[in-house]
Amino acid sequence: MSKKILLFLYYLIFSKLPSSYFPGGSFFNFLRVKTLKSIIKIGDNIKVQPKVYIGNGNDIEIGDHCQINENVKLDNVKIDEYVMIAPGVTILGKMHDFVDLNIPMLLQGEKQVKSTIISRDVWIGTNAIIMPGIHIGQGCIIGAGAVITKDCEEYGIYGGIPAKLIGKRK
């Protein structure tokens, strides 16, 4: 089946199936992940909850042993293994061009940025927003509602708007 048809089926059916916490939910998770493996590069032992948005599926990779919860939006991101992403997280992958003052920003199109990298063993809290092209170092914790605008050092704990280093795990 073509990638576009599978993407259509994912959004029409599989992204709306009940959570893996629902009775029989491991079967629904299996169907979601099986469909996603035909669209994006995705590892083993993954949990993907309902309503995860993957755009057109380009430039998204998810490593082994990850959990992605409800209402997460992913774009242009590479996620390493053992990553937990809480509900409502948005990982942005593009920026609008805005340099020409004579053309409305809406008409200037998008500029591609480097991929966002989420390293191994990261926990991203509910409703966090990660701007495009950010690198989140291994072992980081991103607090609920944080807005990540700069790279995050390994084992750092970040929170706030814009997010700042508020502690270390070591």
Catalytic residues: 96
Q: How far is CA 118 from the centre of its chain?
A: 9
Buried b (16+ CB within 10 A) or exposed e, 105-132: eeeeeeeeeebbbbbbbbbbbebbbbbb
Q: Cβ of 167: how many Cβ atoms within 10 Å?
A: 11
Q: Report whether 92 contacts 115 (CB < 8 A).
A: no
